Structure 1
Amino acid sequence: MIREMTLATRLTLAAQAGLAACADQDGMCETASGGYHIELPEADNPPLVVFLHGYGGTATGTMKNRSMVEPLLARGYAVMAPEGAERNGRQSWNFFPGWEGRDEAAFLTEVVQDASNTFGVDTDRVVLGGFSAGAFMVYYLACAAPDTFSAYVPVSGGFWRPHPEACDGPVRLFHTHGWTDNVVPLEGRLLGGGRFHQGDIFAGLEIWRVANECADTKPSGFSTTGQFMRRYWTGCAEGSALEFALFPGGHGVPKGWADMMVDWYEGLPGG
């Protein structure tokens, strides 16, 4: 089994198969439905953070965010950046129900399995994150199929209007958002001359509380981590987790997010 091999052996086999470029920023792993970049920690069978770029972004651009990638690698996590498919001439994600395009849930499952087969990442410990349009994708996948991945960690993105009537649960989700975000404001905004309407982040949190069968709407507690102001809900369904963190900046992945997110994930049962 390739998962039982050492990291050096896996990389040697990958090189022999012409896949060595998959493990650095200069090449891309290819699957039937698309491609991805991946970087590996100095560990066997590592957990994996899959992070989806925003509208018009690229997998390469995600991996260039070293303030996010390097802390994850240092904590023993492999980092994957899948490539979005073309939408309206730019790379993005087919997240909204009813849109035509690539089956993104199938694609993301495919690339994670490919990374497991090739590099031995642990498919039982996969965290799906994303920024902006990537976070939209995280929200909708977690809503429709929360068991697909171990946890969901969207940054600066949520549902669009009309909000889903309901989501499946339980889900383990940690949402991070900028207080002064004007691209995806907390209250949402109109796009495309009014054809599309970003949703309200707090309305989305209500949908997650219902999915997780939380006993109360008010937060169970508050904390701060550096610049992050955090609130969480307990007394919810077994196997669920829900937390929200605000930071004082705008539309971006803030410094310190990676370590905060890993601390949260590793504090969950089975994390």
Structure 2
Amino acid sequence: MALTACGPRDRPAPTASPPPAGTAPPAGTATHTLTAGGVRRSYEIHVPPGTGTAPRPLVVELHGGGGDNDAIERQTGFFDLADQKGFLVASPNGTGRLEDRLLTWNAGWCCGQAAQNDVDDVGFIAAMLDDIAAHYPLDTRRVYVTGFSNGAMMTYRLGCALADRLAAIAPVSGALDHDGCAPSRPVPLLAIHGTADQNVPYNGGTGAVQEERFPSERGRVDRSVTDSVGFWVRRDGCPATPAERHDGTVTRTTYTPCADGTEVVLDTIDGGGHAWPGGRKGRPRADAPAADLDATAAIWDFFARHELPHR
């Protein structure tokens, strides 16, 4: 689980009412709130310049445990890429006992107060997507989710629960720590993970979490990358034998063709730690991001290949 509690940006996005439906939204970043499961929740949305009323793809980015929506954006830089490629970005906040600090997601058996309190984060994300669709030019066939650490675990869970609404998912440094995953359709997956990750171990088991901040995570056992990715290989009806490509410290393992035009891809970073490859550290003492892979660019390239089938 990422422990990325960082301070707010120098200029936090202002809380604002969503723009009227059918109008071109202003470029920039705004914070919106909504009530989900009886709890007031918030998310940021970033709109690239030149956005009119034509439907745009949406990338949802989920922060790690202990972080917030500002922290994950500092790690990934998705807002800047969105300005270049013309897609929307939503960056929601989890929940925590300290209101705006030590936020987590209920990804199954992880993490923190969200899991302990069985917070309905699936319901919150679904409500956020409804809110965005009602006020922004959203292409509902091109909605994607990515996340880091606890946010990656939540990404897996959303792939299980909202498969009919998500065109593809991309967890980074996370595990499928959720029982009963039963996606309603095959879901394209790109997973990224370092072999030296000590927080969410590549081979599964108990990681070195900071127990003084998250004592509830003491002894947590994560699924391995092989088991987490293997679930989607089987569920998506992929061939058992993948293709492999090596580029520096990165090994790309690709399972294709899979059912309904999907694919399952794993980028393994030899020696990579618990970090967003090619990005920035979530906190000063965090692992250094691997330099051989730009995870943000790789994820968008993967997402851009997939959309929901016509129904």
**Could you tell me the TM-score, scaled by structure 2's length?**
0.72
> Which residue in the other structure is 2:42 paired with?
35
Structure-2 separation of matches of 1:66 and 1:205: 22
- 1:205 is displaced (CA, Å) by 1.6
Deviation by residue 1:130-149 (Cα, 9 ceiling, x = unmatched): 10000111112212342231
Superposed displacement of residue 85, structure 1: 1.2
SS in 2 for 1:199: coil
Q: Which has the higher helix share?
A: 1
Asked if 2 retains the 8 angstrom alpha-carbon contact of 1:166 and 1:211, the reply is no
Q: 1:252 to 1:69 in 2, by over 3 A?
A: farther
Instruction: Return the offset for 1:222.
Output: 2.4
Report percent identity of matched pairs: 27
Q: How many residues matched?
A: 251
What is the CA–CA distance in structure 1 between the aligned matches of 2:269 and 2:225, rounded to whole Å? 14
Residue among 143, 149, 152 paired with 2:166: 149
Aligned partner of 1:264 in structure 2 is: 302
Aligned twin of 2:142: 125
Segments of 5+ residues of structure 1 without an aligned counterpart are: 12-19
Say if 2:237 is the partner of 1:199.
no
Aligned to 1:78: 88
Q: 1:153: how far off?
A: 0.7
What is the CA-CA distance between 1:225 and the residue it aligns to?
6.2
Give secondary structure in 1 for the equivalent of 2:140. Answer: coil
CA distance 1:165–1:111, shift in 2 (3 Å): closer
Q: State the alpha-carbon separation in 2 of the partners of residues 269 and 79 from structure 1.
A: 16
CA positional deviation for 1:92: 0.5
Q: CA deviation at 1:265?
A: 2.1
Cα offset, 1:69, TM superposition:
3.0
Q: Find the residue that maps to 2:251 and give its secondary structure.
A: strand
Note closer, same or farther for the CA distance 1:67–1:165 as it changes in structure 2 (3 Å cut): closer
Distance in 2 between the 1:158 and 1:129 partners?
13
Partner of 2:157: 140
Matched to 2:61, the amino acid is F
Note if 1:229 corresponds to 2:255.
no
Which of these residues, 159, 173, 183, is aligned with residue 189 of structure 2?
173
The aligned amino acid for 1:260 is A
CA distance 1:267–1:120, shift in 2 (3 Å)? closer
C-alpha distance in 2 between matches for 1:225 and 1:110 = 40
| Cα pair distance change 1:188/1:73, threshold 3 Å | farther
1:102-146 Cα shifts (integer Å, max 9, x gaps): 211221111122222223232221111110000111112212342
Q: Is the 8 A contact 2:238 2:258 kept in 1?
A: yes
CA distance in 1, matches of 2:158, 2:307: 22
Cα pair distance change 1:226/1:50, threshold 3 Å: farther
Task: Report the counterpart of residue 213 of structure 2 in structure 1.
Answer: none
Kindly provide the amino acid, as one letter, of the partner of residue 188 in structure 1.
G
Distance 1:119 1:176 in 2: 30
Deviation at 1:87, TM superposition (A): 5.7
CA distance, structure 1, for counterparts of residue 125 and residue 198 of structure 2: 29
* Structure 1 residue 209 displacement after superposition: 1.4
Distance 1:50 1:264 in 2: 14
Out of 77, 89, 94, the position equivalent to 2:106 is 94
Please give the alpha-carbon distance, in whole angstroms, between the structure 2 residues aligned to 1:242 and 1:81: 24
Which residue of structure 2 aligns with residue 15 of structure 1? none
Equivalence for 1:17: none
Q: 1:51 aligns with which of 41, 57, 61?
A: 61
Q: Cα RMSD (Å) of the superposition?
A: 2.7
